[in-house]
Structure 1
Amino acid sequence: DERSYLLEELNRTAADYPSDKCIHELFEAQVRRTPEAVALVHEDEELSYGALNARANRLAHHLIALGVKPDQPVAICLERSPAMVVGLLAILKAGGAYVPLDPAYPSQRLRQLLDDAAPKLLLCDAAGRQALGASAIAGLTAVDLDAATPAWANRPAADPDPRALGLTSRHLAYIIYTSGSTGTPKGVMVEH
């Protein structure tokens, strides 16, 4: 009986998933439940759900003002940091589909991914700029998340309204690339 309880009863975790919600809407629900709880820890920095959400919202409003629309690919090339999480969440909130680019990858591979995804906008830091190189960034609008005084600092901290943006769970959340074992990486488009 105990074995059955442990292996079967406790493992019955099937639950309905709110498939009509976007990823960031589920995060926002958590923010409303526990705004002061720690959401992110990186080295000696902690961010609460409320603080992370406010930062992402300000950046999202800036991205919307720059023209980000649902399903639009937005490249993000940063070192792992709180700014990276803020950037990913902001792209989702603005309706864009993030295209993660690891600054540790060779420049040639990063340029292949940029050429294929064809984003108009790039979120980056110093490491991302260096990894991509000036020529790869030349045709993009680059938003530097390392900026001492970011252009979005005075934007609203309120959640953007996904319905006003025309955003639904059927829109793209991100585009991830395969390892390229056949020689050319292939993008996989994933919806919310």
Structure 2
Amino acid sequence: MDQNSLIQTSDTGEKNPTLRLVKLQTTLDRSLSLVGEEFSYSKLQNLFPELAKELGDNFKAFYDNLYSLLIHSTQDDFSSIQIEYDIENKFINLDKLIVEAKNLAINGEKIEPRPSPEAEFSSRIYPMLERANQKIKEKINKQEQKNSELLALNEKKTAELDQKLKYLLSIYHSVITHQKNL
């Protein structure tokens, strides 16, 4: 069985559902028929005898509509789930994996374990995070160096201003002292 035989196509070129999808649909249909048997007209009449008498023939129409709604809404929900979760393609991929595993087993090859999605994610993300962390550390180091230089410059300017202030204060005191002596 080759991989191309998994995707069956009709003479018109349309895809036919896989065997697994057909079995799933058959199981659903069987389950719905069992529900239909349990939800019979006679049981509904026994549950609501007054309503059945009051409505007469309309009760049968009510039952038919209710039964149709139950079956169709369930089938619609199932179809929506099939489309939303891409069930058909998942079954096709599963069939391909099974064929691949069988071929490897027939050829005596060992199946190489594939990493889990978490491990694969980690193997891709951690190197990126390490590079990003390294860049951030470099920026932090540059900023710290720049801050150190600015602090040193600030301390130097403060010391110069302090010296100038002391010099000016000494001149001021000497002028004041000189004026008092006059």
Q: Which TM-score band applies after superposition, normalised by the shorter structure?
A: under 0.3
Q: Given the two structures, how large is their TM-score scaled by the length of structure 2?
A: 0.21
Q: Which has the higher contact order (CA 8 A, sep 6+)?
A: 1
Larger Cα Rg: Structure 1 or Structure 2? 2
The structure with the largest helix share of the pair is: 2
Q: Given the two structures, how large is their TM-score scaled by the length of structure 1?
A: 0.20
The structure with the largest strand share of the pair is: 1
